Chain A
Amino acid sequence: MRSRFYRNPVGVSKFTGLILILPFIIGAVLFIIYPFIYSFIVGLKDTNGGLSLDNYRNILTDSSSRRTLFVTLKYTAVLVPLKLIVSLLAALLLNCELKGIGIFRTAFYIPSILGSNIAVIIMWQYLFTSDGLVNQLLKAVGISPVGWYGDPNYALFIIVLLRLWEFGSTMVIFLAGLRNIPKELYDAAKVDGCGRIRAFFSITLPQLKNIIFINLILQTIAAMQEFNAPYLITGGGPLGSTRTVGMHIYDEMFRFGDEGTANAISWLLFAVIGIIIILLYRFTEKLRRD
């Protein structure tokens, strides 16, 4: 009996799969693996061109590097929980079956497409400078205006607000998760006399726990790598209160031309993100399994 196989113009052999994914492999080697290894080697190069741990030692003893890490951690700790809550609430709102809900879903996603481009930055300046719209609104309701840009305690908040406004991608993932929850669970809960709030905590949240974890990980990584928004909106100031590790890497590499330090900081950031992800994974393991 002849064995069956599917004919196609290319023909099938044990190498076909490999050939088909070859473009990706080449791309990954050239643009991910090679720069990854090369960056580690550059990070080890000292001022004399030799290999040493000098760059790492200098970074760990440098107070401005430690400060940028502190700013980044603070930014991540404030932004990520807020963003998860806001995007989950928006997803819940947009999950209802209303006429024209697609328009609202699109509208909520638009800020994420805009990113932190120049138009958005200019808009942010109009909003938060001393006579900007936000301060005018505060004045109108009798609250004294806030020095958003100039006060080191508030400046980071402007960046957090920008990223919070761009909750679209997180929301879309939540929305997909919400639509996968079987409707029968809510029907059964309703029959048992369960209210909406109880249903949210007893059905929605447990059903979404893996989605929440994915969003938590993705948003933590993105926040730890933040560069665009502080670079364009505050330039890292005032007093370095919005200078993230991403900006620090950029400054060392492109402003000061110190590629050894820049690459070493990149690797340290990679390690810190890795540790945070492992910790998050460990701490949420039981929750995700139950």
Chain B
Amino acid sequence: MSSSPANGHPGDAPLLGLVLAGGRSTRMRTDKAALRYAGRSQLERAMELIAPHVERSFVSVRADQTEDPLRARFAQIRDLHANLGPIAGLLAAQARHPEAAWLVLACDLPLLDTATLANLVRCRAPQRAATAYRSSHDGLPEPLCAIWEPRSAARLAAYVARGRQCPRRFLLDADVLLLDEPNPEALDNVNTPEEYRTAMSALPPETTSDPKHITVQYYALLREQAGRRDEALVTTARTAAELYAELTQRYPFSLAPGVLRVAINAEFREWTAALADGDAVVFIPPVAGG
């Protein structure tokens, strides 16, 4: 379930996802894709985060990583060039699906949130070479949380043919829509063991099934079927999806979760979002404004 619609407009190239996990993690001294946050590897977290925003997603790997168990679980795109850094992953993806635009994500952004991706997809400028965030640290384009349009491919290939390989420098000279980050920490990357410890402590702990006090508000058809506008309840549901499943036991809800969206504390969230004590949850039926 998407936390925010991928607004494909007719004529735009289809949007595919690429999570870059072919780096050498030299400064971390251990595979960054395998680092665990809140109980899950960063690669799994990144693949889950990107999925609602794209039609299909792939993990970008080096030729010698295809059998790695962590990476073998996902559809892969193998680098065609060695020692070219992250740009090799993008080139291989553009070669595999030249018709597609690519939402490219680095695998070292543990604080990246769905709102940042949703905003990128919403503001996408398909007629430009790319849509990217302007770094809140140095004002430069962030190439590894960006949408690369098919029209960037020829110039990117020519750039590499000239012996260049820095995607950020490429974007500086390209026709790029630059956006401000909705959450300035979302694109903080993690390169060293110390940065890893800092990022881990910034993330919520692993979800538990301890009883939680949750308030639920009902709107429209769900309000009529529940026979109430809101309620406070104690639940062991760990996620919004589990809470909806619990509530369907109690009320004659006719809407499947697939047509609903979820808001927690008045922001759109994933169905898999962990519930915390005190959260206010709203299940959002298909909307009909205008």
Same complex origin of A and B: no
Using a CB–CB cutoff of 8 Å, the interface residues on chain B facing chain A are none
By a beta-carbon cutoff of 8 Å, the part of chain A in contact with chain B is none
